Amino acid sequence: METENTRIRGKKAEEFVKKYLLRRGYEIIEENFEVHNLGEIDLIARKKGMVVIVEVRSRKKVVLQINPLETVKRPKRSRIIKTTAVFLSKNKEVVKTMRELRFDIASIIVTDKGKYRLRYLEEAFQAKDSWL
């Protein structure tokens, strides 16, 4: 069950990753794109024809034995892929300039001192061509 503290930590983690991507030259084209009863995409970014779908996961250091990267299981990946298909169907201008599509996972560990440690995994998973 998600608590208010978890939601706040999640939003702060998303903001941290957003700044990380902006510093690396990405443009953020959508945040928290949600399709009711399907799923949500935390961040959608773009750089030189590459559209990047970013799932942000965060954990407190106390539960460090659970790697946030490992929490994106097949059902979650499937929802992200299907939600991406909806996003692309509604955003033809993005599709016109898109040369590649990538699914990344950003893992944030919040230390005891409130510092953020980021592990960013590009191409964390792939979608089959059939959904495009």
Q: Give all domains of the chain, ordered by start, each with its CATH number.
A: 4-47+60-125 (3.40.1350.10)
Q: Give the CA distances from residue 61 to residues 34, 39, 72, 121, in Å, rounded to whole numbers and listed in that order.
A: 28, 27, 18, 19
Inform me whether the pLDDT recorded for 1 exceeds 80. no
Find the mean pLDDT for residues 13-30. 97
pTM of the model: 0.87
Residue 61: pLDDT band with limits 50, 70, 90: low
- Of the candidates 19, 15, 10, which has an alpha carbon nearest to the alpha carbon of residue 59? 10
What is the pLDDT confidence band of residue 129, given thresholds at 50, 70 and 90?
very low
Find out whether 96 and 129 touch, Cβ atoms under 8 Å.
Answer: no
Stronger pLDDT, 70 or 92, i.e. the higher one: 92
Q: Which pLDDT belongs to residue 5?
A: 76
pLDDT at 41: 97
